[in-house]
Structure 1
Amino acid sequence: MATLQTIRSKGPLLVVVIGLALFAFIAGDAWKVLQPHQGKQDVGEVNGKTLTAQEYQKMVDEYTEVIKLTQGVSALNDDQLTQVKDQVWQSYVNNQLIAAEAAKLGLTVSKAEVQAIIEEGTNPLLMQTPFRNPQTGAFDKDMLKKFLVDYAHLDASKMPAQYVEYYQKMGAFWNFIEKTLIQSTLAEKYQNLIAKSLISNPVAAEDAFISRTEQSDVLLAAIPYSSISDSTITVSNSEIKDLYNKKKGSFEQPVETRNIKYIDVLVTPSDEDRKEVLNEVTEYATQLGTAADMNTFIRSTGSVVPFSEIAINKTVYPNDVVARLDSVTINEVYGPYYNQADDSYNAFKIIAKQTAPDSIQYRQIQVYAEDAAKTATLADSIFNALKGGADFTDIAKKYGQTGEATWLTARNYEGAALDADNAKYINTLINSNVKELTNLQIGQANVILQVLDKKAMKDKYKVAVIKRPVEFSKETYNKAYNDFSQFVAQNTTMDKIIANAEESGYRLLERADFRSAEHRVGGVKGTREALKWIFAAKEGEVSPLYECGENDHLMVVALEKINPAGYRNINLVADMLKAEIIKDKKAEKLIAEMKSASSIDQVKSMANAVSDSVKHITFSAPAYVSVTRASEPALGAYASKAEINKLTGPIKGNAGVYMIQVYNKEKSAEEFDAKNEENNLSNMAGRYASSFINDLYKKADVKDDRYLYF
């Protein structure tokens, strides 16, 4: 029961909604995009093993429930759900890659190892569970064990339905944590196996220490590459091809991508639409002064700010309302006024202002019987017994509850859309005196409440807010649709769209290397059909017109090029290779000019030369040169070997060619510790080893077809 109390305190209304049917856990099924399908659909493949849409959906549902439970929310928004889907997919792929390699090596995670992790209690995963000591915040294995014992002996027929549901939710949550513990431990074993194979030695340790602690102060002169015009440098196709072959490995892309051109039309309100919203808000502002049922009235206005029957912190209200509250008196209507920040017309009325606590400690006993009459009789009996001095905890336990004290904070309910019963519940807590007992009827149940403490008394406001964002009308949308539809009908090829978009008032956008895993075309919501088209179309084709976004975007897409998985075509990287060759040829030319110099002053006198001084250059860290605005790792290498007061160079850098003269060298006071340095190198090697997953990914022929179904 203590564990359940912790769970209930996690989220925004959990402590309030305990035990009441209308506060049941929301399943969140509305967002699911899978429709009933015939046959089997595969969303991906790893090492030849396919993952069906149904299996993937189940994993997404599981992780979604975990997120909702740990964050104390009843649903996730679209962006959060997209993130969950990507996290589930990435975890699945990584686990499959590691499991395949671990199987070859005989690596496993036993039940005894998992139990040892739980006994130790320091794993970060365990710290994300509700099984934590309320005083120390540390994971409490005894709380977990008690829960598991209670869950194993759960008798649904003898416990309130809400307790059974919480036990089931927590049981599923712990199963997820345990499974993740096994997977993460196996991954850690495999990574450690690789990391421990990369060892250091005394020689490398000494070199690392010297490169980090020996510093040089230098004078430098440089001629930037920008001093030579690119047009004076000739680069042949054969040179580009040779460099491509030399660097081909760096141009590999693991997945197929697309280059697209598209037009995204955002439908915006017309002047007539704005005038219509202003007129409506003006009329509502007049009615605001006399409205009897404020909750119903505010809903009828279409305001995006729900009315709260509870006085709340003013910071919960929109910023434009907060900025005006202090200049408005009780029952005064302010507005209408326009707020540019969210493009809305507004009006509001302060209904009440009171001092109320931000935190309330209370305890409760839920009472529910076969019918309303028996519930009321039982509640009266319990209430009278408590008034007569009966122990609260003892009676609570008699009815299968803990009766333990918990804290309700303002953030648990402020800003949430509360129905009448929720508001009644919270207002009772706010207005009850400390130690006072209340027999509260809510829905089909009664709740015996006792407030034990109140903290952080603050000024709270009950404000009726009409906030109407300016939205386009149906007529405005139809005009935008008809105009764009006509453009699309008249421009059925990519060449025509490119030629006529600007003249028709549309902006042509483009995107290279678009991947199916990005979910949205142009970052616009609701573009899954356009995305599916892109990866099914042929080069040069033009899509149909798509209605997308939140019913406020129109889009057409042209597929310019398909970039298959593997090595990128030389034509796609030719410009980058040409720029590198041009820089190399400029460096050769400048080196030839500068190598005859015998002093820094002589270099400074050369055309386009710049000079600077840089202190504390080390071999291990690149030097930043302000006059060329570039990071130059080569300077540290040369400075570490250069003699004091001797000109060194020319040195080919990232932004130009340099000549340096070291005028001072010094060592830090740090003493050499061979063992410590070797440990640092080993740890560094371990971090490099963590990139093994990328190598496994390349060899596993991973296919991600989620975009077809999600």
Structure 2
Amino acid sequence: MATLQSIRSKGPLLVIVIGLALFAFIAGDAWKVLQPHQGRQDVGEVNGEKLSAQEYQKMVDEFSEVIKLTNGLNSLNEDQLTNVKDQVWNTYVTNQLIAGEAEKLGLTVTDKELQAVIDEGTNPLLMQTPFRNPQTGAFDKDMLKKFLVEYANLGSSQMPAQYVEYYQKLGNFWTFVEKTLRQSLLASKYQNLIAKSLISNPVAAEDAFKGRTEQSDLLLAGVPYASISDSTITVSDEEIKNLYNERKESYKQPVETRDIQYIDVHVVPSAEDRGAVLKEVTEFTDQLDKTTTDYASFVRSTGSTVNYTGVAINKTSLPQDVAARLDSASVNEVYGPYYNAGDDSYNTFKILAKTTAPDSIQFRQIQVMADTEARRTELADSIFNAIKGGANFAEVAKAYGQTGEATWVNAMSWEGAALDADNLKYIQTLINQPVNELKNLKVGQANLILQVMSKKAMKPKYDVAVIKCPVEFSKETYNDAYNKFSQFVAQNTTLEDMKKNAEEAGYTVIPRSDFTSDAHYVGNIHSTQEALRWIFNAKAGEVSPLYECGDNDHMIMVGVEAINKKGYVNINKVANMLRNEIIRNKKAEQLMGQMKDFNSLAQIKEMKDAVSDSVKHVTFNAPAYISVTHASEPAISAYASKTDVEKVSAPIKGNAGVYMIQVYAKDKGSEEFDAKKEESALSSMSSAYANQCISELREKGKVTDQRYLYF
């Protein structure tokens, strides 16, 4: 109990680094026990091992619970849940790939290694758990051990039900952390093995030092490629094919994609809808002016998106449009109705009180519970009278399995939140109770012996009843839009018809190339899973039925223009890019041919459309930016590092033109060469290659993602 109280007193708990935390949660064997079921449906495959929809859903559900627990959420919205699904899948794939490679290499993480990390207590994940020393903030293994002992004895304890539930959640969380540590250690071992295989040396270190510190100041002259018309350059299909074959490996497509065209109909309020909302808010304004009690019920009845809590709050906790107008209204005066374009709403509000209240409150408490209300009241009165008579608060708290230590709470934790009657009563007591005064407060099924220790940051606060009504479309408006679009869909059953007739009907066809099944949304519109499934089951040229989607405010139809199979990208999709590169190369050859006998920048300046510039502090490691051609030119940086002072370079083929440079000054800088430091930096850079290896493993790991079929 003591451990639980120590943990619970720290405010919002269990805020963890999700990226780190994902590793063990998914890959541990405990999550992969197959339950007997019929009709197995697989959402994916990694290196021949299939993942069923049931297993994947379990991972998503359990990680969703972790997210909700660690962030104090009751539920996840669609975007959050989609993010969880992707994190679960990506981590599953990564863990499977690493586990396969680790098994080949004989890499493991032993229980002793895991325990050593826990005993050391410096791992970033441990630092984010609630098992931390309240004074230092450091991970406290003794606090953890005490909790684990109490958790193990949970079945024989007489804890209240709410404590038992919290212990179970915290126990599940620690299991999660343990698995996470084990898997992150295995991943770290594998990545370190890759990184250590890349050895730096003194020669590379010196070269890296020079590339970073030696600077050149130079003059340049050149002719931009734009000075030569593209129409004067001929490019044959054979040339495009040859360049494609030369670059083919860079055009690998790891998954099958679709080229689609779609129409998105976004239903918006009509002028009549807006007038109806304004009329309603005007009526609410009159009623608000006459209301003198139970503002919470009245505001709730209006459908306002801003809760009324009965607690005076900071301006910053109110909507910006309301906060900006507070000083224009007096107490008990109604301000409104007015329109706010920021959130497309009509608004009115009434200031009930202006006061000064603390932003931070320090308090301590003893929670009193018993099996009957009479016994609880008797026990609470006994504790209250004992402390009021001089008994030590902390000692009494310890006698009832609690720490009784003081903790700070900030107004941000309740301002703007929906408060039930008990929470409102509790918060109002904290705000209004004099410092050091003792209070026996009945809240729900418990009594709290409460003492406010200190109050800080006294600020102006406002008790405001706000009615904010967003402008929304009516059922009639939606039906009109639906009927019109439904007729269009019925009359245009091919992709060509859809594209040909859309504009006349008032719709816009939106193209999307290389659309993948893991995109989750069509056109970034919520709830388009059905349309996504259709896209990846349709044939080229087909058009979908009408799908209602979004937040009940969108309708779409989709046409599949092309199916791009896994493998190499079709040459026709990159032909224009290749043609432009060939044109640029031919222009470069032409210009370099004209400059082949030049030995001064003056000769280039005499050419048609020539440009010139001076550039300072050019290093080998950083591409030189040439302002006259608006381009970064790595080739100039390389030539500058090898060109002697006062010498003129040969013609340089750049990204935006052909140049010649003349270096007029070089500076080696004041930094002294430190071989060990440079070698260490090179070694650190090898860690990036270790991360790249994971991407390469994924490419070769026969990864199949079919989640779109079920989720």
Q: TM-score, normalised by structure 2?
A: 0.94
Q: Tell me the distance in 2 between the aligned counterparts of 1:72 and 1:478.
A: 39
Question: Offset of 1:308 from its aligned partner?
Answer: 1.5
Show the counterpart of 1:123.
123
Question: Offset of 1:11 from its aligned partner?
Answer: 5.6
- Report if the CA contact (8 A) 1:346-1:467 is conserved: yes
Amino acid of the residue matched to residue 247 of structure 1?
A: R
Show the counterpart of 1:411.
412
Secondary structure of residue in 2 paired with 1:331 = coil
- Report if the CA contact (8 A) 1:12-1:73 is conserved: no
Q: Tell me the distance in 2 between the aligned counterparts of 1:317 and 1:443.
A: 28
Show the counterpart of 1:301.
302
Q: Tell me the distance in 2 between the aligned counterparts of 1:391 and 1:647.
A: 88
Mapping for residues 379-398 of structure 1, pairs under 5 Å: 379-398=380-399
- Report if the CA contact (8 A) 1:289-1:333 is conserved: yes
Question: Offset of 1:10 from its aligned partner?
Answer: 5.8
Secondary structure of residue in 1 paired with 2:298 = helix
Q: Tell me the distance in 1 between the aligned counterparts of 2:308 and 2:13.
A: 17
Question: Offset of 1:382 from its aligned partner?
Answer: 2.3
Question: Offset of 1:2 from its aligned partner?
Answer: 5.9
Runs of 4+ in 1 over 6 A off after TM superposition: none
Show the counterpart of 1:78.
78
Stretch of structure 1 that moved more, 407-416 or 543-552: 407-416
Amino acid of the residue matched to residue 335 of structure 1?
A: G
Stretch of structure 1 that moved more, 209-218 or 2-11: 2-11
Show the counterpart of 1:529.
530
Secondary structure of residue in 2 paired with 1:453 = strand
Secondary structure of residue in 2 paired with 1:658 = strand
Show the counterpart of 1:238.
238
Question: Offset of 1:305 from its aligned partner?
Answer: 0.6
Q: Tell me the distance in 1 between the aligned counterparts of 2:376 and 2:304.
A: 38
Secondary structure of residue in 1 paired with 2:226 = helix
Q: Tell me the distance in 1 between the aligned counterparts of 2:132 and 2:547.
A: 50
User: Over residues 547-603 of structure 1, what are the superposed CA-to-partner deviations in whole Å (9 max), with x where a residue is unaligned?
Assistant: 101100010000111111111111111111111111111111111122232311121
Q: Tell me the distance in 2 between the aligned counterparts of 1:578 and 1:203.
A: 40
Show the counterpart of 2:367.
366
Show the counterpart of 1:180.
180
- Report if the CA contact (8 A) 1:11-1:412 is conserved: no
Mapping for residues 4-403 of structure 1, pairs under 5 Å: 4-5=4-5, 7-8=7-8, 39-155=39-155, 157-291=157-291, 292-403=293-404
Question: Offset of 1:7 from its aligned partner?
Answer: 4.5
- Report if the CA contact (8 A) 2:261-2:558 is conserved: yes
Question: Offset of 1:517 from its aligned partner?
Answer: 1.1
Q: Tell me the distance in 2 between the aligned counterparts of 1:157 and 1:200.
A: 59
Q: Tell me the distance in 2 between the aligned counterparts of 1:254 and 1:13.
A: 41
**1:545 paired to 2:566:** no
Amino acid of the residue matched to residue 176 of structure 1?
A: F
Secondary structure of residue in 1 paired with 2:348 = strand
Q: Tell me the distance in 2 between the aligned counterparts of 1:508 and 1:424.
A: 56
Q: Tell me the distance in 1 between the aligned counterparts of 2:606 and 2:613.
A: 14
Structure 1: runs of 5 or more not aligned: 15-35
- Report if the CA contact (8 A) 1:11-1:73 is conserved: no
- Report if the CA contact (8 A) 1:70-1:129 is conserved: no
Q: Tell me the distance in 2 between the aligned counterparts of 1:594 and 1:9.
A: 77
Q: Tell me the distance in 2 between the aligned counterparts of 1:3 and 1:535.
A: 53
Mapping for residues 547-696 of structure 1, pairs under 5 Å: 547-696=548-697
Q: Tell me the distance in 2 between the aligned counterparts of 1:75 and 1:436.
A: 38
User: Over residues 229-261 of structure 1, what are the superposed CA-to-partner deviations in whole Å (9 max), with x where a residue is unaligned?
Assistant: 212111111111111111111111211111110
Show the counterpart of 2:30.
none
Aligned length: 689
- Report if the CA contact (8 A) 1:156-1:164 is conserved: no
- Report if the CA contact (8 A) 1:494-1:542 is conserved: yes
Question: Offset of 1:6 from its aligned partner?
Answer: 5.7
Q: Tell me the distance in 1 between the aligned counterparts of 2:479 and 2:307.
A: 30
- Report if the CA contact (8 A) 2:592-2:658 is conserved: yes
Amino acid of the residue matched to residue 182 of structure 2?
A: I
Secondary structure of residue in 1 paired with 2:465 = strand
- Report if the CA contact (8 A) 1:10-1:70 is conserved: no
Question: Offset of 1:135 from its aligned partner?
Answer: 2.4
Question: Offset of 1:54 from its aligned partner?
Answer: 2.1
- Report if the CA contact (8 A) 2:2-2:398 is conserved: no
Question: Offset of 1:361 from its aligned partner?
Answer: 1.3
Q: Tell me the distance in 1 between the aligned counterparts of 2:54 and 2:10.
A: 30
- Report if the CA contact (8 A) 2:281-2:346 is conserved: yes
- Report if the CA contact (8 A) 2:360-2:457 is conserved: yes
- Report if the CA contact (8 A) 1:41-1:53 is conserved: yes
Q: Tell me the distance in 2 between the aligned counterparts of 1:10 and 1:283.
A: 46
Stretch of structure 1 that moved more, 319-328 or 124-133: 124-133
- Report if the CA contact (8 A) 2:522-2:531 is conserved: yes
Quote the sequence identity (%): 69
**1:463 paired to 2:467:** no
Task: Evaluate the alpha carbon distance shift between residue 12 and residue 300 of structure 1 in structure 2; reply closer, same or farther with a 3 A threshold.
Answer: farther
Question: Offset of 1:404 from its aligned partner?
Answer: 2.3
Task: Evaluate the alpha carbon distance shift between residue 684 and residue 411 of structure 1 in structure 2; reply closer, same or farther with a 3 A threshold.
Answer: same
Show the counterpart of 1:506.
507
Q: Tell me the distance in 2 between the aligned counterparts of 1:654 and 1:158.
A: 76
- Report if the CA contact (8 A) 2:2-2:401 is conserved: no
Amino acid of the residue matched to residue 334 of structure 1?
A: Y
Show the counterpart of 1:490.
491
Q: Tell me the distance in 2 between the aligned counterparts of 1:646 and 1:286.
A: 85
Amino acid of the residue matched to residue 686 of structure 1?
A: S
Secondary structure of residue in 2 paired with 1:138 = coil
Question: Offset of 1:38 from its aligned partner?
Answer: 5.7
- Report if the CA contact (8 A) 1:159-1:400 is conserved: no
- Report if the CA contact (8 A) 2:13-2:70 is conserved: no
Secondary structure of residue in 2 paired with 1:695 = helix
Q: Tell me the distance in 1 between the aligned counterparts of 2:312 and 2:637.
A: 64
- Report if the CA contact (8 A) 1:336-1:347 is conserved: yes
Question: Offset of 1:622 from its aligned partner?
Answer: 1.1
Question: Offset of 1:128 from its aligned partner?
Answer: 1.5
Task: Evaluate the alpha carbon distance shift between residue 444 and residue 143 of structure 1 in structure 2; reply closer, same or farther with a 3 A threshold.
Answer: closer
User: Over residues 95-136 of structure 1, what are the superposed CA-to-partner deviations in whole Å (9 max), with x where a residue is unaligned?
Assistant: 110000000110000111111111222211112211222222
**1:448 paired to 2:449:** yes
Secondary structure of residue in 2 paired with 1:649 = coil
Structure 2: runs of 5 or more not aligned: 15-35
Question: Offset of 1:9 from its aligned partner?
Answer: 5.0
Q: Tell me the distance in 2 between the aligned counterparts of 1:394 and 1:448.
A: 14
Show the counterpart of 2:701.
700
Question: Offset of 1:322 from its aligned partner?
Answer: 0.5
User: Over residues 184-216 of structure 1, what are the superposed CA-to-partner deviations in whole Å (9 max), with x where a residue is unaligned?
Assistant: 111111111111111122222222222222221
Secondary structure of residue in 2 paired with 1:326 = helix
Amino acid of the residue matched to residue 487 of structure 2?
A: Q
- Report if the CA contact (8 A) 1:311-1:354 is conserved: yes
Q: Tell me the distance in 2 between the aligned counterparts of 1:536 and 1:465.
A: 49
Task: Evaluate the alpha carbon distance shift between residue 359 and residue 156 of structure 1 in structure 2; reply closer, same or farther with a 3 A threshold.
Answer: farther
Secondary structure of residue in 2 paired with 1:185 = helix
Question: Offset of 1:275 from its aligned partner?
Answer: 0.4
Q: Tell me the distance in 2 between the aligned counterparts of 1:6 and 1:369.
A: 21
Q: Tell me the distance in 2 between the aligned counterparts of 1:9 and 1:541.
A: 60
Stretch of structure 1 that moved more, 203-212 or 533-542: 203-212
